[in-house]
Structure 1
């Protein structure tokens, strides 16, 4: 007799199994609400039934316009259980940009956080959708939670197939029009629950960055591992520090600029952070000088993760590698993960030896399926099973990977290339500099000028000529910024990365005004 293949199970099934294993344990915390594993599992199942009852079918896109609500997380799981791809909009994009994404992904149902009701009205006026559903009584669309309450919390068979799209995750748009990165259920993989550590040893993760970004994936892994996720609506340093102490947070994820703000906050020195076991940072380049500050403040708990939405995780710099006496190691993104292949290639596609700079190319079982409705761009980035990341870097003889720039951020000047991270590391090494961002601005003759935005240390005085002299002596005239502006803090994208697109635009406008005045 032919052997029948077992039904496909996705990462959502793993999460639901973990929730069912200990239904009474605390699993989500948000604004004073404490939600048990059993309650979260029941909500996911009721929502899955409710979406099916509304006529939302396998393969139809569900789009979320929501902050860090527990109900938003449950809705994503429910939609995936129904075999639907999910897009989670970045909240700080304009209504026009959000509407373009809603239209582009062919949204069947827009699920709205009540606090974004006004924005939802703007978006749907520009991009009408068949179903507008609210996560509560918000005055926009039908109350999905009310519909779900009338449904049974009975187990439901997942409709997803391995090749179906699980998520369409859009880039933040810092380097041009946002691209929809498609990940299939098969490539999203299964979440293997970790061995139980006892109730007191379970991980407690604080998420204060958008669930639409990496925080959502982190929540998936924590819930599958039997942990607790504490959700905050936004990153506010004082609130994050208070939550670490109050909730005895063991795990934290931050982008580097947010980590710097955390350790620089006046409350940092009087907050008990001894519960922290692991603080993962990543998403953009980190400053070795500032990471050293974080190690001294928080102890040996830092771990850097490097990856992309297109590729999944690529490499990790472990806590043992975070040695303040080895800044060259802190500049790296760590060793390549098992199951991931990395090649450094030149513009002709040739592999380069250790130490040579080239494009980082990756091959693994977790690469994206492609860009949504952009086959030409997909073919350009995915070639012969390798993802061309667009990052410039090198591998050393010990197998450590160092990222020196994005191809689009690399500044092309007369005489060569300026790698922005190298310039930023040097500026950040000045005792009176807290943080910096380097970028190129194209001149009227088509050449690029090196520019930098610098955040001075509190109460410190430093001038542009002093910094230029430092760069000229240490890196040479090619790296010397033509323009340095001083700012109170760097502008950040919705994901928490330095917004170089905005900095570049501001600098170009200032340069144009100066030329007209001359």
Structure 2
């Protein structure tokens, strides 16, 4: 099996059905497949070869559908970039991955010259927006029109298909190499357990398509056939309007998005009766929020997914668990059918039921490795298991409960933020002597990034100045939302900052 197989199936069974909807632009399956094959030829024509990485820096649109499949059609690796990153972070990922060709839309076209200068090896920019093509860039539509279709090489097996960068515990992002086999295993496993994508359904894509969670919803809908509706970014109004206009049947959201949709003051005035499946993930959800969502969408089935870029979906809390309620609503569900999942102690051996340890997994769904980082790959995959860095426990029926994160990852509004990245940025400020970054509970975002800072002797700086400084080096959502200045940080005998004490102090405040 190969990833482009879904296109061939759709062309055979529903060639004239709308496959993509983006604003007022509607394209049929026949049109999309033709454009994909021409774009694949265009990539070859501008020098892209098999296994090369091709980047995309763009808000959600039907370009994503064509971009992903065109890469696989001619054998390249799709490299969607985080649109919320700073120029420095984007340039790092482009350089680290050896990406030579980058597509940019209108929102990021102005960043193109800076990226050409900062990213080693990057030499070609393709403008895929609707506005005028800037000087020095190739025009996306002209490329598609200027090349004849080429045959699909049917890339599959253990070949890389995605390069997805995730935050780094060492302070720099890591490129996760996702294979065809890995993605297919995870997607099929999820479908078997949840039926989260409905055959011939209408899937709304509003979560950013550089996230594995959003990509899961996108690909599973392609797998079973249907129509994909693209929103450039999330707004409650945009989601409700799209549901009503297009008869959306399925969508994937993070909890803060679900909450904003349900709390929209005009929610009751929209027709949301078409929605049949809602998948959420990216952070734990309080039971009160789940109850609210189930009241707002009484006709829908709900699925919670737990996973990470390196593994895609690991476990699922199915709709029946939501209906039953109780303490299992606080769980991450049970392992999907095609994977192995365990909780182990420091010795790598499984711990007894109910005992906290590190969540590990193995199977075809696991990444091939971190791009260009063999030591980090070996550490993550030691003993044949992918070590997630999450602490949790299993109950007697195999339900997984996540209780902490070994890697000090913060999940804020569905975005993963690693404290080391933020700490590196804060430490670059001349007034900062020491700092620690933790996640603290937040009613709106789930968690917020909180910085605890010791200033240099005689230095003065405001919290807002700290935030502004951080935003020059890292994405805005990673910058601390709250800042606390202290005289000293709590240290262990070995000199390690005791973040648990900092979290406890914040919870007691």
Q: Is TM more than 0.5 here? A: yes
Of residues 133, 150, 171, the one that matches 2:146 is 150
Alpha-carbon separation, structure 1, partners of 2:332 and 2:339: 14
TM (norm. structure 2) is 0.78
Alpha-carbon separation, structure 2, partners of 1:50 and 1:23: 23
Range with bigger deviation, 185-194 or 94-103: 185-194
CA contact (8 A) 1:278 1:302 kept: yes
3-state SS of paired residue (2:331) = coil
Alignment-derived partner of residue 371 in structure 1: 370
Alpha-carbon separation, structure 2, partners of 1:448 and 1:205: 41
Alpha-carbon separation, structure 2, partners of 1:120 and 1:448: 34
Alignment-derived partner of residue 46 in structure 2: 54
Of residues 129, 149, 159, the one that matches 2:122 is 129
Q: Which runs of 5+ in 2 are unaligned?
A: 424-431, 446-462, 464-470, 490-509
Alignment-derived partner of residue 165 in structure 1: 160
* Pair 452,61 (structure 1): closer, same or farther in 2 beyond 3 Å: closer
Alignment-derived partner of residue 340 in structure 2: 341
Alignment-derived partner of residue 318 in structure 1: 318
* Pair 277,124 (structure 1): closer, same or farther in 2 beyond 3 Å: same
Range with bigger deviation, 42-51 or 333-342: 333-342
> Shift of the alpha carbon at 1:407?
1.2
Alignment-derived partner of residue 118 in structure 1: 110
> Shift of the alpha carbon at 1:512?
6.4
* Pair 512,150 (structure 1): closer, same or farther in 2 beyond 3 Å: farther
CA contact (8 A) 2:116 2:123 kept: no
* Pair 339,223 (structure 1): closer, same or farther in 2 beyond 3 Å: closer
Alignment-derived partner of residue 39 in structure 1: 31
> Shift of the alpha carbon at 1:445?
12
CA contact (8 A) 2:37 2:152 kept: no
* Pair 234,161 (structure 1): closer, same or farther in 2 beyond 3 Å: closer
3-state SS of paired residue (1:323) = helix
CA contact (8 A) 2:84 2:476 kept: no
TM (norm. structure 1) is 0.76
* Pair 314,450 (structure 1): closer, same or farther in 2 beyond 3 Å: closer
CA contact (8 A) 2:217 2:251 kept: no
Q: Which runs of 5+ in 1 are unaligned?
A: 1-8, 411-419, 425-436, 458-484, 486-492
Alpha-carbon separation, structure 2, partners of 1:450 and 1:53: 48
> Shift of the alpha carbon at 1:208?
0.7
* Pair 387,354 (structure 1): closer, same or farther in 2 beyond 3 Å: same
CA contact (8 A) 1:335 1:401 kept: yes
CA deviation profile, 1:198-244 (whole Å, cap 9, x unmatched) = xx972111111111113233222212311111100110011111211
1:303 correspondence with 2:303: yes
> Shift of the alpha carbon at 1:248?
1.2
CA contact (8 A) 1:263 1:297 kept: yes
CA RMSD of aligned residues (A): 3.5
Alpha-carbon separation, structure 2, partners of 1:395 and 1:170: 29
Higher relative contact order (CA 8 A, sep 6+): 2
CA contact (8 A) 1:203 1:250 kept: yes
Alpha-carbon separation, structure 2, partners of 1:185 and 1:23: 25
CA contact (8 A) 2:56 2:81 kept: yes
CA contact (8 A) 1:15 1:220 kept: no
> Shift of the alpha carbon at 1:333?
1.1
> Shift of the alpha carbon at 1:151?
2.1
Alpha-carbon separation, structure 2, partners of 1:47 and 1:192: 27
Alpha-carbon separation, structure 1, partners of 2:435 and 2:123: 49
> Shift of the alpha carbon at 1:277?
0.7
Q: How many residues align?
A: 436
